[in-house]
């Protein structure tokens, strides 16, 4: 059973618009979200609903569709389910200060059992994503302590494209990080450092 005590301890809810630490359940019980987060460094936060909470990992390089690429995923504190709808600016000076984008969202299905919390405790969760960007089968494998690996399984969604570059925009608002920061009083220059640099060739955007 997870807890929101660490989430609560790290935040001042008089200063940040992040959701309050309340345990809830979605209709499916299996929501997922990936949030692109330009804090001190750029990373992607993978969050999977389990037992009314969002189990969370910071993935520094973002997800890869290549089965040969193993992405480091650092386990972080549980988040409330309402965090799956959060896009905006965390004030500088607060924990995680910076700009947050809803990069992908949808539902997932566990594939190696039904008790997600128990599977995570054992150190391996196989799951199928049904997102707007990320689809198909994946696995999270714990290597030690907070260190996990996020790996794409072989299926029809495997690709060597860098999906973080080809689809850089929010799935809910269509904004880039700099646009979110500009609209919501954040550090635009800092946020823009997390947006892809144009290479002069036309890219698909979602």
Percentage helix, strand, coil for the chain under 3-state DSSP, each rounded to 5:
15, 35, 50
- The number of angstroms, rounded, from the C-alpha of 133 to the middle of its chain's C-alpha atoms is 12
Residue 157 domain-assigned (yes or no): yes
Residue 29 domain-assigned (yes or no): yes
With tokens 């799956």, the residue in question is 84
Residue 200 domain-assigned (yes or no): no
Helical ranges in 74-162 per DSSP H: 116-122
What is the reported pLDDT for 202? 40
Q: Helix or strand or coil: residue 138?
A: strand
Q: Helix or strand or coil: residue 48?
A: strand
How do residues 142-181 score in pLDDT, each as one tens digit? Answer: 999 999 999 999 999 999 999 999 999 999 999 999 999 9
What is the reported pLDDT for 37? 98
Give the separation between CA 164 and CA 79, rounded to whole angstroms.
Answer: 23
How many structural domains does the chain have? 1
Residue 192 domain-assigned (yes or no): no
Residue 203 domain-assigned (yes or no): no
Residue 196 domain-assigned (yes or no): no
Query: Mean pLDDT across the chain, nearest whole number?
Result: 95
Residue 113 domain-assigned (yes or no): yes
Those residues of the chain that have pLDDT short of 50 are 199-206
Range of the domain at 39: 5-187
In angstroms, the Cα distances linking 150 to 16, 71, 99, 142, 166 are 29, 5, 23, 9, 20
Residue 194 domain-assigned (yes or no): no
Pick from 133, 123, 189, 136: nearest CA to 166: 133
175 and 169 Cβ atoms separated by less than 8 Å: yes
What is the reported pLDDT for 2? 79
């Amino acid at each position: 059973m997870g807890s929101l005590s660490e989430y609560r301890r790290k935040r001042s809810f008089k200063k940040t618009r992040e959701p309050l630490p309340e345990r809830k359940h979605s209709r499916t019980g299996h929501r997922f979200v990936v949030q692109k987060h330009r804090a001190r460094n750029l990373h992607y936060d993978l969050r999977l609903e389990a037992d009314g909470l969002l189990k969370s990992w910071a993935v520094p390089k973002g997800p890869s569709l290549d089965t040969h690429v193993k992405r480091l995923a650092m386990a972080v504190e549980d988040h409330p389910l309402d965090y799956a709808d959060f896009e905006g600016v965390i004030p500088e000076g607060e924990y995680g200060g910076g700009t947050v984008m809803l990069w992908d969202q949808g539902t997932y299905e566990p594939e190696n059992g039904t008790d997600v919390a128990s599977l995570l405790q054992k150190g391996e969760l196989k799951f199928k994503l049904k997102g707007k960007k990320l689809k198909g089968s994946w696995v999270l494998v714990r290597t030690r302590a907070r260190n996990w690996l996020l790996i794409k399984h072989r299926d029809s969604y495997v690709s060597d494209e860098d999906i973080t570059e080809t689809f850089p925009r929010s799935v809910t608002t269509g904004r880039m990080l700099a646009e979110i920061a500009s609209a919501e009083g954040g550090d635009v220059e800092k946020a823009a450092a997390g947006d892809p640099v144009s290479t002069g060739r036309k890219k698909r955007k979602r």
